[in-house]
Structure 1
C-alpha cells in the first residue's frame, strides 16, 4: 500500500497496523463504479435469461441445454458474487470486509471461473459428438450422463481450487503486510498446475474439437450441395461457401474470446512468475477474465433461434400465462 502524504489510513484506529491507501478522486470512483456495475448487471441479465429460458420451457429440457444451463449458472454467479466484490476491491483501494470475506471471495472467484471453463469444454465435447457421430449421439449423450458430468465438473472445480488456495483459506492474511489488504499469491508450482488444468488443457480441447467439428460440418455441407446439384442441375456453391464462412466465423469468435479473456491472466504463469492480486495489472486482467462470463451467453446461446424466441416470451411476460411452459419454442 502507498505510504505517501496523499494516502490515508484504511483503519485509523489501528495507527501502527493499518495500511495506507491512496485517496481516489470522487469522479474516478464514480466512473469505475458505473462501468463495472454495467458489466456486472449485463452479465447477470444475459445469463438469467438463459437460465429462465431453459428452466421454464419443457422443450428445452435436453442434454445439450442442460450444459448451457450449467454454464449460465456459473456465469450468473460470477456476476452476482464475484464482480460486486472485485468492483469494491478495485474502487475503494482498501479491503474493509475482513479475513473471512477475503478467503471466501477468492475461492468463489476461482471455483466459478473453473466451473465456467469446464462447462465450455463439456459443450465442445457435446457438439463434437453431435456433428461427428450423429447416429450415436442419442445413445452416447444421455441426460443421466450429462447430469453426472456437470456434477463432476462442479465438484472438481471446488476441490481443485480448494487445494490450490489451501494456504490462503487457512490463513487469509498470509501475504498481507498490514490491515486493509487481501493479497492472494499463487506460487509458480501451483500456477503451473492451474495453467495446465484451467487454460492450456481446456483451450487445447476446445480448439481441437471445434476444428474437427468445422471440418466435418464443411464436408457435410459440400456433400449435401453436391447431391442437390446432381438432382437439380443447379449450383449451390455460393450457399455452401456462406455456410462455411459462418461456421468459421463462429469458431473464430469462440476461440478468440477465450484467448483474449484468459491469456492476460495467465501471462505470469506462462512467464514463470508468481500470480498475485496485488500486481498493478490485476484490475485489468481479472476483469478481462470475468468479462468472459458476460460474453458466454452471447456466444453459446444468443445465436440459437429458440433463445431469441424465449427472450420475447420473457420480456413480454407471456411466460406468466398458464401452460406457457408447454409452448413450442423450437
Structure 2
C-alpha cells in the first residue's frame, strides 16, 4: 500500500527523484480548465475567420492585410498549440517528457516572436502610409511585404533556436526533479531583444503617426472650403488611412497591455520559467492577446463582419464569391 508521501509524488516509483504534487480543489481546477479551454477554442475560431477572409477575397489582398494575415496565423497557432499545452502546464505534474517540454517552449517562442515582429511591420506600414502617403504605393508593395513576412518567421525560428540552444542540447537539464517542465534562458537579454526594443520602436512610430495625423486633421479643417474635387479624393484616402492607423493603434495598445505584466514578472524573478499557477496565469494573459485581435477587427473593420457573415451562411462557397465587394 502506498504511503501518503508516495501518493503525493508525480512518479511514485521514483521516490528519490520525483517531484511532489501540489493539489488544488477540484472545483477550482474545473473552472480553470473550462475557462482556458474556452479561450483557446475562441482564439482558433476567430483567427481562422480572419485567415479565410483575407485569403479568400481578392479585395482584401493588400500589403496591410498581408501583415494582418501573418499576425492571424501566429494567433491561430497560439490557440491551436500553445494554449492547450499551457493548460497542461497548469497541472501539478508534467508527464510528457523533457523533450516535449523543450519543443513546446521552442514552438511558443517562435510564434510569440513572430507576433512581435508582425506588430513592428504593421507600425512601419502605418508610419509610411500617414507620414509619406505620396510614396506609399511605391515603397509598400505586395512583393516587399511577402519578403518581410518570410524574413519575420525565419528570424523567429533562428532566434528561438539560439535562445533555447542549451535546453535543446540536453532536455531537462534544468529540472530539479522528475515531473517538472523547466527551461533556462537569459531573461534580461530576451527582455531587451524581444520586448523593450520592439515596443520602443512601435511606440515611437505611433507617436510620430499621431503627431502627423493631428496636423493633417487641422490642415483639412482650415482649408476644407477651398478644397477642389481632385484634392477631396486625396482627403478621403487620408481619412481611410487615418482610420486604419487608429484601428491598428488599438491592436498595438492591447498587445502592450497583455505582454507587459508577463515580461515584468519574468524580469523580477531571475531567468528560470517554472510551471507555477501564477506564471501560468500570466502566460495566459499574454496569449489572450491572440484572442483579442480578431475581436478588435470585428468592432473596427466592416469587411471582417461581412466576411464572417458570408462564411457562416456558406455563401463563400458560391461561384465568384472571391470577387464580392466588401469595402
TM-score band by shorter chain is 0.7 to 0.9
Does 2:99 align with 1:103? no
- How is 1:195-214 mapped onto 2 (pairs within 5 angstroms)? 195-214=191-210
RCO higher in structure (CA 8 A, sep ≥6): 2
What per-residue deviation string (whole Å, max 9, x for no partner) do you get for residues 151-181 of structure 1?
1111111111111111111122111122111
Alignment partner, residue 8 of structure 1: 8
Does 2:302 align with 1:305? yes
Which residue of structure 2 lines up, in the alignment, with residue 30 of structure 1? 30
Matched residue of 2:14: which SS? Answer: coil
For residue 280 of structure 1, report the CA deviation from its aligned partner: 5.6
2:231 corresponds to: none
Match of 1:326 in 2: 323
Please give the residue correspondences for 1:53-202 in structure 2 after superposition, counting only pairs within 5 Å.
Answer: 53-90=53-90, 92-186=91-185, 190-202=186-198
What is the correspondence of 1:156-305 to structure 2 with a 5 Å cutoff? 156-186=155-185, 190-229=186-225, 253-268=250-265, 270-271=267-268, 273-278=270-275, 281-299=278-296, 302-305=299-302
| Matched-pair contact (CA < 8 Å) for 1:7–1:22 | no
Cα distance in 2 between the residues matched to 1:272 and 1:12: 30
Q: Is the 8 A contact 1:18 1:179 kept in 2?
A: yes
1:35-62 C-alpha deviation (Å, 9 max, x unpaired): 1011111111111111010011011111
The aligned counterpart of 1:238 is none
Task: Decide whether the 8 Å contact of 1:63 with 1:141 is kept in 2.
Answer: yes
Aligned residues between the structures: 312
Pairwise CA RMSD of aligned residues?
Answer: 2.5
How far 1:268 sits from its partner (Å)?
Answer: 4.5
Scaled by the length of structure 1, the TM-score of the pair is 0.87
What is the TM-score of this pair, normalised by structure 2?
0.87
| Aligned-pair CA distance for 1:196 | 1.5
Quote the Cα distance in structure 1 between the aligned partners of 2:52 and 2:190.
32
**CA positional deviation for 1:18:** 2.0
How much has 1:260 moved relative to structure 2? 2.1
Q: 1:141 to 1:249 in 2, by over 3 A?
A: closer
Structure 2 residues without counterparts, runs of 5 or longer = 228-239
Q: Answer whether contact 1:6 1:22 (CA < 8 A) is retained.
A: no
Contact 2:102 2:183 in 1 (8 A): no
